[in-house]
Amino acid sequence: MDPRLSIINERLKNIERIIAVGSGKGGVGKSIISTTLALLLSKNNKLTGLFDLDFQGPTCHLILGAKDEFPTEEKGIKPPQINSVYFMSIYYFTRDNPLPLRGWEVTNLFRELLAITRWDNIEYLIIDMPPGVGDEVLELLKLINKKEILIVTTPSILSLNTVDKLVKLLKNLNIPIIGILENMRVQPSDIVKKYALENKINYLGYIPFDYSIEKYIGEINLFMKTKFVLNLEKILHEKILF
């Protein structure tokens, strides 16, 4: 019997909202959006946690500007606060080494991290999902009780085709979808809005491609002033949060 299964929701039970940022598709901005969401919540005085569930390609630590932080042991492990966000990532343990894993190992890693991480009294937990619908996603769907999904896509039929797979999966399981966020728009297009309408999903708005963003990755103060962040803040403010 796996002793971790019974404890996972115990660890999360005092959290008000658990928001998983997903897409199914890679490279659409899940990590930058989930990290920014956590930073914005925290700026708005919410105690916020961020969990990077992309074990094989974690990037939230780069966006957050993590350095050599490491969790402390206290009846479990406590996520260090980085730019006031309580942050947990496999990065602490692997640093920049590749972590090739078979599915069952991904499942094990998921369970272990969630069983031992003490989020204390955070109000929001943001989860940065990996691409695909594999073990991480299936474990999230299976083991985390209350959760809402924020879908991210680019306005491309290649993205939407893959996003649609995650959406179908979530709808079949009646898992709440907060809405769909269009990212990296480079020209007028209504395919995402149309898709949202047709599938009865809340269309949250779009974020234009921001050419300046690359140079502010990891520089939180400047990053928080980019158009990307301002656009995201406006959408989140109007549509879902704070």
Ligand X SMILES: Nc1ncnc2c1ncn2[C@@H]1O[C@H](COP(=O)(O)OP(=O)(O)O)[C@@H](O)[C@H]1O
| Angstrom distance (rounded) from CA 168 to CA 112 | 29
Q: What is the DSSP string of 209-234?
A: --TTGGGGTT-HHHHTTSHHHHHHHH
Residue among 113 and 229 whose Cβ is closer to ligand X = 229
Quote the tokens at residue 2: 């796996």
Contact present, 43 and 49 (Cβ < 8 Å): no
> Which residues, listed in sequence order, are joined to residue 20 by a DSSP beta bridge?
127, 149
Residues 103-142 as x/- pattern, contact with a second copy by CB under 8 A: xxxxx----------------------xxxxxx-xx----
| Angstrom distance (rounded) from CA 193 to CA 197 | 6
Which of 7, 43, 56, 226 forms a contact with a second copy (CB under 8 A)? Answer: 56
Which of 42, 83, 117, 183 forms a contact with ligand X (CB under 6 A)? Answer: 183
HSE-up of 204 (CA within 13 Å, CB side)? 25
HSE-up of 238 (CA within 13 Å, CB side)? 12
Using CB distances below 5 to 8 A depending on partner kind, what does residue 177 bind out of a second copy, Mg ion, another protein, none? none
Using CB distances below 5 to 8 A depending on partner kind, what does residue 62 bind out of a second copy, ligand X, Mg ion, none? a second copy
Q: Kindly state whether residue 197 participates in binding another protein, applying the rule CB under 8 A.
A: no
Using CB atoms within 10 A of its CB, is residue 38 exposed (0-12), middle (13-18) or buried (19+)? buried
Q: Kindly state whether residue 16 participates in binding another protein, applying the rule CB under 8 A.
A: no
What residues make contact with ligand X under the rule CB under 6 A? 23, 26-32, 59, 154, 156, 158-159, 183-184, 207, 209-210, 213-214, 228
Q: Can you give the binding site for another protein, defined by CB under 8 A?
A: 1-7, 10, 71, 73-77, 90, 92-94, 97-102, 105-106, 108-109, 112-113, 115-116, 118, 138, 141-142, 169, 172-173
| Interface contacts to Mg ion, rule CB under 5 A | 30-31, 52, 54, 58-60, 128
